[in-house]
Structure 1
Amino acid sequence: MSVYADLLRHRELFGSLFRRDLRAKYKGSLLGLAWTLALPAALMLVYLVVFAVLWKAQPTETDDYWLFLLCGLPPWVFFATSIQSGARSIVQNAPIIRKVRFPRQLVPLSVVATEVVAFAAMTAIVLALALWFRPESRDLAWVAIPVGAVIVVFVAGVALALASLNAIFRDVEFVVSAALLPWFFLTPILYQLDDLPGAESRPWLVDLLRWGNPLTPAVEAYRAPLYEGQLPSAADALYLCVAAVAALALGALVFRSVDDRIASEA
């Protein structure tokens, strides 16, 4: 795919965009790039306090629920922040895009790359917690790292598709923002699918939540080695890999179909 081959051909430009976006994200702050660790830690703490302490959301037969929750958060937070920032990235960079001809797909991809920094920080946090509090996870916890890499590929493709569409149809970024809240609750971060009320009487609903939501296999595959000390199921791993390839193809297809119109309509 030539759309992604430009990352290598223009790696210096991509690096410049990445550094610019990373500096802009924390510009004027006292801690600077230290926020790449502080913000994910604070965000995870907020989720933990709200859902595990105040709300007391507790799936049945789940030990260390706080860790169960934390092990599901990094993929979701990375996905949500990346597609929100990525969807509006081309429009926000319209002045540059109109003046200079360069591979425009680098703009949303560089935004995703900046979010990878926070994703890596969150992964480091939950990995350390899993190694400390879940002895059964110590042999396989590292598997979350390659799983996270596949999740990055999936998110990059989705973000590129949304950014390209939003350059033509401005409603896209608002649809994304509106969809994220229900999407969060439809993804098994706070609960296990098998523990849902009615799971036995309505197995079709569980199957729909599991296979109709591409984030479900991603979260399950990421959490399995960290929390359960097990390899991701073959079905989750295969689904995630296929979804990542499909997302890349979709991103490239949508971008190529609107590339000629981006400069004039962004």
Structure 2
Amino acid sequence: MGVYADLVRHRELFGSLFRRDLRAKYKGSALGLAWTLALPLALMLVYLVVFSVLWRAEATDLDDYWLFLLCGLPPWVFFATSLQTAARSLVENAPLIRKVRFPRQLVPLSVVATQVVAFAAMTAIVLVLSLWFRPESRDSAWVAVPVAGVIVVFVAGLALAVASLNAIFRDVEFVVAAVLLPWFFLTPILYRLEDLPGAESRPWLIDLLHWGNPLTPAVEAYRAPLYAGELPPAADTLYLCVAAVVALALGALVFSSVDDRIASEA
């Protein structure tokens, strides 16, 4: 895991890359870093209007469906935006990578760090809403914060793998973009798995959607303390922790295997 140890050894460089990416993201805007809160809030409102008002999804037996929806969105939005932005990070920073020798893994990891700011803002929003509208969640809602931390670790590992592969094979970023849309609908953000048609007649399909999709345990573990007022299911929490470790190992393995080629092919 020496790939990640460089985050500590070169923390000042990592901080500089993070600040550069954050400033570049909102450069020239009137609100500046205020967009960190405004953009996630606007995105969450769009989903809320489309699926809870126009689509009339509140016809389900879920109380406060709008909050159920909002409590599932932050992990997905963070995951999707991190993978998409990290995928091109090494390619976009090719001039810097060719000129200066430094731990190149800091580039995609700093991009993920900028997305953590928005993830934190979205988590703060749903945490406040949960504490206000779901009194039964007031003792458990805070557990979503460490769960969010594990999600960050999981996404960071995957983002490093994707960025490394895309530096060598440019098709990777297009594959990621194409996969994210169906992946969203296969993740129980808009619905509960147990409410799906055929949930009783085809339990194997529900198990596949649950355990075959690493985002499902992440969303379930994140949403349970916020919406249901319960501790995250033990199985989902264990799955997420194992997935985070595997993602870190995968990211380190892929990066190490292509590191020598990044400068010449990025």
TM-score, structure 1 normalization? 0.99
2:23 is the alignment partner of 1:48 = no
Structure 1 residue aligned with 2:250? 250
2:226 is the alignment partner of 1:233 = no
Residues 187, 213 of structure 1: 8 Å contact kept: yes
Aligned residues: 266
Residues 59, 195 of structure 1: 8 Å contact kept: no
Residues 6, 103 of structure 1: 8 Å contact kept: yes
Residues 59, 192 of structure 1: 8 Å contact kept: no
User: Aligned partners of 2:229, 2:177: CA distance in 1, in Å?
Assistant: 34
Gaps of 5+ in 1: none
Between the aligned residues of both structures, percent identity stands at 86
What displacement does 1:59 show? 6.7
Structure 2 residue aligned with 1:121? 121
The amino acid that maps onto 1:164 is S
Q: Deviations over 1:222-259 (max 9, x none)?
A: 00000000001110000000000000000000000000
What displacement does 1:206 show? 0.2
Alignment of 1:171-182 (within 5 A): 171-182=171-182
User: Aligned partners of 1:265, 1:85: CA distance in 2, in Å?
Assistant: 19
Residues 162, 172 of structure 1: 8 Å contact kept: yes
User: Aligned partners of 2:28, 2:172: CA distance in 1, in Å?
Assistant: 30
Alignment of 1:1-266 (within 5 A): 1-58=1-58, 60-266=60-266
Gaps of 5+ in 2: none
User: Aligned partners of 2:57, 2:164: CA distance in 1, in Å?
Assistant: 38
What displacement does 1:55 show? 1.2
User: Aligned partners of 1:31, 1:244: CA distance in 2, in Å?
Assistant: 34
Q: Deviations over 1:31-77 (max 9, x none)?
A: 00010001100010011011111112247321000000000000000
Residues 58, 191 of structure 1: 8 Å contact kept: no
Q: Deviations over 1:117-158 (max 9, x none)?
A: 000000000000000000000001000000000000000000
Q: Deviations over 1:171-199 (max 9, x none)?
A: 00000000000000000000000000010
What displacement does 1:104 show? 0.2
> Secondary structure of the equivalent of 1:19?
helix
User: Aligned partners of 1:190, 1:227: CA distance in 2, in Å?
Assistant: 13
The amino acid that maps onto 2:98 is R
> Secondary structure of the equivalent of 2:57?
coil
Residues 59, 191 of structure 1: 8 Å contact kept: no
User: Aligned partners of 1:57, 1:95: CA distance in 2, in Å?
Assistant: 48
User: Aligned partners of 1:23, 1:224: CA distance in 2, in Å?
Assistant: 34
